[in-house]
Amino acid sequence: MKKHHFLFIVFSLVAAIASAQTGTLTTSGSITRTTASGVTTTSFARRPALDSTAIVRDSAGVKMAYAEWHKLMASSDYALRIKNPGVENPEFVVIKLSEAAKARRRAMIPKPDEDGFVKTGMKLDLFSAKDIDGYKIRPKDLEGKVVVLNFWFIKCAPCRDEMPELNKIAKTYENNPNIVFIAVDLDSKDDIKEFLKTSPFAYHIIDDGKELADKYEIKSYPTNIVLDKEGKVKFHSAGYGWATVDGLAKAINEVK
């Protein structure tokens, strides 16, 4: 699943939750199609733009910067509510979801894409490698442990966006030797070390990881995978959003 597809799903879920609370979240439109019985025109709902051009305000009515509200949308705690539905360029308000609303949102999360190489329940053969600090990663040493994999590269914006949340999860288990966090980066060791000076990442990081990414047929970034103690895929996702963070944390908690 590519980045823009994932973001469309995330914002579609945001719209659905907000719609349930406040009414219509769409502007109207129509599509004309030719059928065997003639020409028909069907009304449809077109979602307003949810990008850097959108006007989004906090609960006090203060306009928020795109980076600020976009970051909140990656959390399962927040959603956007339309302020003035029916107009061509509506405004939105950031709202904090109730527990019931969050439960409804989670129920709408799409299942992982099972069309790729990595599939839920499959046993994933691991690899031998050294991380950028010289730590040896060997399949034998990982037997019986929960393994959390992340595939990324420096210029991938959603990869960078998810790092603070991944760091929180990794820190939760930093004293548990039976849970290992491994990040496969496509960049060189020098570039990674320079990047980490300002953006720490609490995983064992493998450099020049394109060959490993190709081994697992990773097509979209970031990709996150959780393997249970038997080496079977418990969770996998492509892209970044609250569904990724929640799913990753839940999967680790279930298999630890």
Q: What is the CATH number of the domain that holds 251?
A: 3.40.30.10
Alpha carbon distance 50, 15 (integer Å): 10
What's the CA angle centered on 206, arms 140 and 253, to 5 degrees?
65
Quick check: is 170 in a domain?
yes
159 and 249 share one domain: yes
With a CB cutoff of 8 Å and minimum separation 6, the contacts of 147 are 126, 180, 182, 226, 227, 231
pLDDT digit string, tens, across residues 124-155? 999 999 999 999 999 999 999 999 999 999 99
pLDDT attached to residue 99:
87
Mean pLDDT confidence for 236-245: 84
184 or 89: whose pLDDT is higher?
184
Compute the distance between CA of residue 8 and CA of residue 131 in angstroms, rounded to an integer. 34
Tell which wins on pLDDT, 34 or 175.
175
Instruction: Please say if the pLDDT value at position 85 is more than 90.
Output: no
Instruction: Band the pLDDT of 247: cuts 50, 70, 90.
Output: confident
- Alpha carbon distance 66, 56 (integer Å): 8
Query: Does 149 share its domain with 91?
Result: no
102 with 152, same domain? no
pLDDT digits (tens, 9 = 90+) for 13-25: 444 433 333 332 3
**Of residues 53 and 207, which shows the higher confidence score?**
207
Position 134 in a domain? yes
For the residues of 114-144, what is the DSSP string, one character each?
-SSS--TTPBPP---EE-TT--EE-HHHHTT
Owning domain of residue 183: 129-255
Q: pTM for this structure?
A: 0.66
Instruction: Tell whether 243 and 135 lie within a shared domain.
Output: yes
Whether residue 124 is contained in a domain is answered as no
Which residues, 6+ apart, have CB-to-CB distance to 139 below 8 Å? Answer: 125, 126, 127, 128
Q: How far apart are CA 96 and CA 75, in angstroms?
A: 10
pLDDT in tens, 100-113: 887 777 666 656 66
Q: Could you give the residue ranges of the DSSP H alpha helices within the chain?
A: 3-22, 66-72, 99-107, 139-142, 157-172, 189-196, 210-215, 242-255
Asked whether residue 73 falls in the same domain as residue 138, the answer is no
Indicate whether 86 and 157 sit together in one domain.
Answer: no
The mean-pLDDT minimum among 41-45, 197-201, 240-244 falls in 41-45
CA–CA separation, 236 and 226 (whole Å): 6
Q: Return the higher-pLDDT residue of 244 and 204.
A: 204
Share of the chain above pLDDT 90, in %: 54
Of the pLDDT bands very low, low, confident and very high (cuts 50, 70, 90), residue 32 is: very low
Backbone angles phi, psi at 227, to 5 degrees: -105, 135
**Residues 53-68, mean pLDDT to the nearest whole number:** 91
The predicted pLDDT at position 106 comes to 67
Q: Give Cα 154 to chain centroid, integer Å.
A: 16
Q: Do 92 and 189 belong to one domain?
A: no
Number of domains in the chain: 2
pLDDT tens-digit readout, 155-186: 998 899 899 999 999 999 999 999 999 999 99
| 236/159 same-domain check | yes
Q: Looking at the predicted structure, is the pLDDT value of residue 35 above 70?
A: no
